[in-house]
């Protein structure tokens, strides 16, 4: 079954520093991969998705992720953190059919002044 | 265009009661999925509907059920509520074919007392 593992349940960065959130996937078939963000008391917002086109995927709010098959990774990065980036981030993988998403446990990003 | 709308936003129920949650997808979206989010278990897939047919179901007891109407609106029902059913229930919609990016609603916060 397809699954993802997010390394680090909490990540803290300074404002202006690089954001790196790690996600590794396990999939027996070419996966579709996603990053979502969740702000307090809200639903999930799609940041970006990989669906086997370009391996470097650009998303909203300056985020991007690179699909690395050799490392089974799909890490999320942003060159310069803003205070407004503080939120919970979820990596997810879907089956080829796309009928369901399997989410990681989430990473809480704290941005300090 | 309007996003995914979930009603109600908050709900308090007593153990043993049943509850129905509603989800209106983005106009034109034919796929609706439901997820349960709890601090302990994270985000877990409940079921997915496309054109009134359930295409996929997660590992939840039969007390959890759903349906989709011809206008793509969906409801989920939980019967004989247990304390452990307290959670944020999220609905997501997508076009359903060829596009695997789900748009989530803000969720319904269910508290069982």
pLDDT score recorded for residue B78: 98
pLDDT in tens, B1-10: 679 999 999 9
Q: What pLDDT score was predicted for residue B6?
A: 97
pLDDT at A16: 97
CA distance A104 to A5: 5
Q: Which of A99, A101, A106 to mutate to test the interface with B (most CBs of B within 10 A)?
A: A99
Helix (H, G, I), strand (E, B) or coil at A85: helix
What pLDDT is stored for residue B87 in this prediction?
97
Task: Dump pLDDT digits (tens) for B65-102.
Answer: 999 999 999 999 999 999 999 999 999 999 877 666 78
Whole-number pLDDT of residue A54 = 83
Question: Closest to A101 (Cβ–Cβ): which among B102, B103, B105?
Answer: B102
Percent pLDDT > 70 in chain B is 96
Residues of B in contact with A34 (CB under 8 A): 100-101
Q: Is B25 on the interface with A (CB under 8 A)?
A: no
pLDDT at B21: 98
- Report how many Cβ contacts below 8 Å link chain A to chain B: 57
What CA–CA distance (Å, rounded) separates A49 from A56? 10
| Chain B contact set for A90 (CB, 8 A) | 43
Residues ≥6 apart with Cβ < 8 Å to B41: none
Sign of the CA dihedral with B5 first, then B38, B99, and B73 last: negative
A97 vs B: CB within 8 A: yes
Could you tell me if B15 and B41 are in contact, meaning their C-beta atoms sit under 8 angstroms apart?
Answer: no
Per-residue model confidence as pLDDT tens digits over A48-71? 999 877 889 999 999 999 999 899
Quick one: B104 exposed, middle or buried, by C-beta within 10 A (0-12, 13-18, 19+)?
Answer: buried
Distance CA(A61)–CA(A81), nearest Å, equals 10
> Is B106 in Cβ contact with A101 (below 8 Å)?
no
Residue A43 Cα distances to B4, B37, B58, B92, angstroms = 10, 10, 20, 9
Q: What is the pLDDT of residue B2?
A: 79
Q: What is the mean pLDDT of chain B?
A: 94
String of b and e for A34-67 (b: at least 16 CB within 10 Å)? bbbbbeeeebbebbbbbbeeeeebebeeebbbeb
- pLDDT tens column, A12-52: 999 999 999 999 998 777 788 999 999 988 899 999 999 87
Minimum-distance CB partner of A43 among B45, B50, B107? B107
At residue B108 the predicted structure's pLDDT band, cuts being 50, 70 and 90, is: very high
């Amino acid at each position: 079954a397809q699954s993802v593992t997010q390394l680090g349940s909490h990540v803290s960065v300074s404002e202006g520093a690089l954001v790196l959130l790690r996600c590794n996937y396990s999939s027996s078939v070419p996966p579709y991969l996603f990053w979502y963000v969740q702000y307090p008391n809200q639903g999930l917002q799609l940041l970006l998705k990989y669906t086997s086109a370009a391996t470097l995927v650009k998303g909203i709010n300056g985020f991007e992720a690179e699909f690395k098959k050799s490392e089974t990774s799909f890490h999320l990065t942003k060159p310069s953190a803003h205070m407004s980036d503080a939120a919970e981030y979820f990596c997810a993988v879907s089956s080829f059919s796309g009928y369901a998403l399997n989410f990681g446990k989430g990473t809480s990003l704290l941005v300090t002044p | 265009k309007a996003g995914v709308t979930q009603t109600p936003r908050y709900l308090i129920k007593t153990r043993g009661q049943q509850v129905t949650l509603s989800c209106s997808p983005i106009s034109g979206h034919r796929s609706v999925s439901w997820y349960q989010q709890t601090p302990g278990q994270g985000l877990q897939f409940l079921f997915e509907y496309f054109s009134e047919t359930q295409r996929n179901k997660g590992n939840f007891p039969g007390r959890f059920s759903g349906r989709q109407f011809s206008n793509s609106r969906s409801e989920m029902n939980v019967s004989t509520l247990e304390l452990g059913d307290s959670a944020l229930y999220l609905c997501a919609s997508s076009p359903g074919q060829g596009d695997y990016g789900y748009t989530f609603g803000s969720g319904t916060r269910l508290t069982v007392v």
